[in-house]
Amino acid sequence: MSNDEKASPGPSENNGGGDTTALFEEAVRANSKRLLAIARAIVGYRASPEDVVQQAVMNLFQHRARYDWREPGGLLRRAVVNEALRLLRQPKMTVVADDQPERGMNEPSGSLDQRETVAKVRAAIDKLPEHYRSALVLCEYEQMPYAEIAKTLNASVPQVKTWIHRARRQLATMLKEYANA
């Protein structure tokens, strides 16, 4: 091994070798709610967002020594987005009823209206093409800059801007009747 190779440690050496697993676990723990929200927003009810996050995390765990886990947010988000898109590209599965009980069944009707609105918006987002939906979710829910969205989705910044614009326009059309009611 040359002196140059010794001077520039790889990601696993950079983290002290054995520390990689601990750093990985801390990164997942710190980001798990955000990752679940991203998966839920992209796959909706077509698949289990928990399964998407679990598969993405398992894939990263297998190759954890390759990455620097001191700034893991972008890597984790990108892995979840990629896994969600991979899942959506598979042949369509039939929709199964949500296994989570409805929250707030005893709440006043104001909350019922709010739940109905949220359900309509989510249904409209689910109808968007996957690349529009992914770009919109990362922009609106994750507040990611266009450049980071482009990197995550392997697209150009102008393409991402177009997808987001078209997604918003399609949502406005789909929700127009509901907004006027």
Q: Residue 44 and residue 29: Cα distance in Å, rounded?
A: 22
| Domain spans, the chain | 10-95, 109-181
Burial 85-95 (b: 16+ CB within 10 A, else e): bebbeeeeeee
Phi/psi at 116 (nearest 5 deg)? Answer: -65, -40
Regarding predicted confidence, which is higher, 177 or 150? 150
The separation between CA 5 and the C-alpha centre of its own chain, rounded to angstroms, equals 36
Give the separation between CA 69 and CA 130, rounded to whole angstroms.
29
Determine the pLDDT at residue 15: 41
Query: pTM of the predicted model, to two decimals?
Result: 0.54
| Separation between Cα atoms, residue 103 and residue 116, nearest integer Å | 13
In the predicted structure, residue 79 carries a pLDDT above the cut 50: yes
H helix or E strand, kind and range, residue 121: helix 109-127
Task: Please give the single-letter amino acid code of residue 101.
Answer: P
Q: What angle do CA 44, 173, 126 make, to 5 degrees?
A: 10
Which ranges constitute the DSSP H helices of the chain? 3-7, 11-14, 19-43, 49-62, 73-89, 109-127, 130-140, 146-153, 157-180
Question: Candidates 3.40.50.720, 1.10.10.10, 1.20.1250.20, 3.40.50.300; correct CATH number of 109-181?
Answer: 1.10.10.10
pLDDT number for residue 181 = 56
CB atoms inside a 10 Å sphere around CB 20: 21
Predicted pLDDT at 67: 82
In the prediction, which pLDDT does 126 show?
84
pLDDT at 46: 65
Quick one: average pLDDT of 71-75? 84
